[in-house]
Amino acid sequence: MRSTGPDETLERAARRRGYSRVAGIDEVGRGPLAGPVTAAAVILDMARIPQGLNDSKKLSAPARNALSALIRESAEVGIAHATVAEIDSINILRASHLAMERAVAMLDPLPDFLLIDGNLVLRGLTIPAEAVIKGDTRSVSIAAASIVAKIARDRIMVDLAQQHPGYGWETNAGYPTKSHRLALQNLGATPHHRRSFKPVHNILYQDKSVNR
């Protein structure tokens, strides 16, 4: 067991209760003004847990990339998204849960127990689950999910940045940095901006000609 950072306590507790396929679930991308929300579900091989797992936000970019590769080599991984249209239609919280549900569904066979980052259990799942507040700092499986989800979403935003230069998505991943807000004012909203988010909505409301 690790002395700092997330450990296997929750996974081992679930296994003692008879569950054999315990998946950690996390999402990234609730806060950005643009791009999808991305979730991952990870079932770790408890005999091959990569060293250094932690909340993805606490890791350097090189560490996240290296760990993501190790996780995908040694664990079962499902990655899924909810689109900007879905975010605007059903709200960001529900869209985040939809992405999580899709990530779980990608695992075959399905997990028999879920450790979900946050304080809510997904309402669309029938699999037994436990919500874990600050789970990416407590559970190695959730930490692993946070890492692979962030890498996957960041890569999407880098690709989108090539199609829509000027917003800095290759570095800000769509989050509302000062430069991104300024670009939104000057360049207008792209099809990848979340219209239900206030800064984007305000731009469109103030000048509908910026919608492109």
pLDDT at site 192: 98
Distances (CA, A) of 187 to 52, 66, 83, 174: 41, 35, 22, 14
Span 102-154, pLDDT tens digits: 999 999 999 999 999 999 888 777 899 999 999 999 999 999 999 999 999 99
pLDDT at site 88: 97
pLDDT at site 4: 74
Average pLDDT, the chain: 93
- 40 DSSP β-pair partners: 26, 79
The backbone torsions φ and ψ at residue 124, rounded to the nearest 5 degrees and listed phi first, read -90, 5
- Return the structure tokens found at 127: 């699999």
What mean pLDDT comes out for the span 33-46? 97
Task: Compute the residue count for the chain.
Answer: 212
136 in a labelled binding site: no
Question: DSSP letters along 132-184, please?
Answer: ETTGGGTBHHHHHHHHHHHHHHHHHHHHHHHHSTTS-HHHHTT---HHHHHHH
Residue 97's H or E segment, with its range, is helix 92-105
Q: The pTM is what? A: 0.92
27 in a labelled binding site: yes
26 in a labelled binding site: yes
Pairwise CA distance, residues 130 & 118, whole Å: 9
